[in-house]
């Protein structure tokens, strides 16, 4: 069967993670056969349990830093395998560097072998603690390469360089998405990022922990918007990195207050020392995504949080039920 007539196949590394599992859903919906690869170090089989038994879905438990074998043809590889929260990459610094370097190398090698398009999940963290605001794709960043956070930031920067090298030297069709703070269902309640932490604390009636004075800013995007952006980029002919994020910037202190309001909590706010190299500002310039992908976020922050609230309520309830007495 020629390539035009057969069913398309996509490999999603990190496919049992928060973002990867939503992408598995989307590509199955779009008619792809989806091969989900994950070693479950930070991913969770519960995120993809609803897909087991689907004839267009296959799960492979595998560490992508080792040689990757996938039988048959592949049209697309989405490389989303990596620890993504500070708790994870500070606990697993070597593994984070390995998946960004060796894992990306192995996945690109497979793309070359299969003549498949390759899309790299990069991050806004490549901009570090930025000296320009908002951050556009032509900004080279301000990263401390030897700081604690550098293991994640530099792993992604190296992965981008590797992807572009494979494109220029081997002719692999590569795409790079720089993902800004994203939230939604299937996030781990203890993953250390602001939204799940604030949600957990607020729903339990505990104080919300704000680092520094809370004046640092972030821009939060609902997961459905991220998935749409990745889909459009994967189908496009655009090679340069593309920011996918919601430009609606908010201070962390105001965000904590917003979570308290949206959850109906009576929690207070406490302050702790700001972690080293924590970015002071974060806001995507999405003009490139608008021009090249005709993409911009559909959900405002409060709307997205309301859509996510039921998921977090269920998670917190289960967590409290299962607490040892």
Q: What is the dihedral angle through the alpha carbons of 121, 125, 127, 133, rounded to the nearest 10 degrees?
A: 110
pLDDT at 235: 98
Please state, in angstroms and rounded to a whole number, the distance separating the CA atoms of residues 283 and 301.
14
What are the 10-residue block averages of pLDDT along the chain, 325 residues in total? 79 98 98 98 97 97 97 98 91 96 98 98 97 97 95 97 98 98 95 94 97 96 98 98 98 97 96 91 98 98 95 91 62
Q: Name beta bridge partners: 35.
A: 11, 58
The residues spanned by each domain of the chain are: 9-183+222-244
What pLDDT shows up at residue 31?
A: 98
Q: What is the predicted pLDDT for the residue at 86?
A: 86
Task: Name the burial class of residue 14, with classes exposed (0-12), middle (13-18) and buried (19+) by CB atoms within 10 angstroms of its CB.
Answer: buried
Tokens in use for 227?
């998935």
Give the whole-angstrom CA distance, residue 42 versus residue 82. 8
Tell me, what's the pLDDT at 149? 92
Q: Locate 85 and state its tokens.
A: 């929260």
Q: From CA 116, how far away is CA 118, in angstroms rounded?
A: 6
Closest CA to 79 of 149, 12, 7, 157: 12
pTM as predicted:
0.96
Catalytic-labelled residue, pool 27, 152, 166, 183: 152
* Three-class SS state of 64: coil
DSSP labels, 112-177: HHHT-EEEEEEEGGGGBS-SSSSB-TT---B--TTSTTHHHHHHHHHHHHHHHHHHHHH---EEEE
CA-to-CA distance for 77 and 64, rounded, in angstroms?
A: 12
As a whole number of angstroms, the longest Cα–Cα distance in the chain is: 63
- To 5 degrees, how large is the angle CA 283–CA 287–CA 291? 155
| Residue 152 annotated among the catalytic residues of the structure | yes
- In 3D, which of 225, 207, 198 has the Cα closest to residue 266? 207
- Whether residue 15 is preceded by a cis peptide bond, meaning omega within 30 degrees of 0, is no
Task: For 187-199, give one letter per residue: b (16+ CB within 10 A) or e.
Answer: bbeebebbbbbbb
Question: Looking at residue 79, what DSSP letter applies?
Answer: E
Alpha-carbon gap, residue 262 to 16, rounded angstroms: 29
297: closest CA among 253, 249, 262, 260? 249
CB 289 within 8 A of CB 295: yes
Please give the pLDDT value at position 319.
84
Q: What is the dotted CATH code of the domain comprising 9-183+222-244?
A: 3.40.50.720
């Amino acid at each position: 069967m020629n390539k035009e007539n057969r069913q398309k196949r996509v490999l999603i590394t990190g496919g049992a993670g928060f973002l990867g599992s939503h992408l598995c859903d989307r590509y199955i919906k779009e008619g792809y056969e989806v091969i989900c690869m994950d070693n479950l170090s930070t991913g969770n089989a519960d995120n993809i349990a609803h897909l087991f038994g689907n004839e267009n879905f296959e799960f492979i438990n595998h560490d992508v830093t080792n040689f990757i074998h996938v039988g048959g043809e592949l049209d697309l590889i989405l490389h989303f395998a990596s620890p993504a929260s500070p708790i994870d990459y500070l606990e697993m610094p070597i593994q984070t560097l390995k998946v960004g370097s060796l894992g990306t190398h192995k996945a690109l090698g497979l793309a070359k072998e299969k003549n498949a398009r390759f899309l790299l999940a990069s991050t806004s963290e490549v901009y570090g603690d930025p000296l320009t605001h908002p951050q556009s794709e032509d900004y080279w960043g301000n990263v401390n390469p030897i700081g604690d956070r550098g293991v994640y930031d530099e792993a992604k920067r190296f992965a981008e360089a590797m992807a572009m090298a494979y494109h220029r030297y081997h002719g692999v069709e590569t795409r790079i998405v720089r993902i800004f703070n994203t939230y939604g269902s299937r996030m781990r309640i203890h993953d250390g990022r602001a939204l799940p932490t604030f949600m957990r604390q607020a729903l339990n009636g505990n104080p919300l922990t704000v680092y520094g004075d809370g004046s640092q800013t972030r821009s939060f995007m609902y997961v459905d918007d991220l998935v749409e952006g990745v889909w459009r980029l994967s189908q496009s002919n655009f090679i340069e990195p593309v920011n996918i994020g919601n430009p609606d910037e908010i201070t962390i202190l105001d965000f904590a207050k917003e979570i308290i309001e949206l959850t109906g909590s009576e929690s207070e706010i406490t302050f702790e020392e700001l972690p080293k190299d924590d970015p002071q500002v974060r806001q995507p310039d999405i003009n490139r995504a608008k021009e090249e992908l005709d993409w911009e976020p559909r959900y405002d922050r409060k709307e997205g949080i309301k859509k996510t609230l039921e998921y977090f309520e269920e998670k917190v309830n289960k967590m409290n039920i299962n607490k040892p007495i």
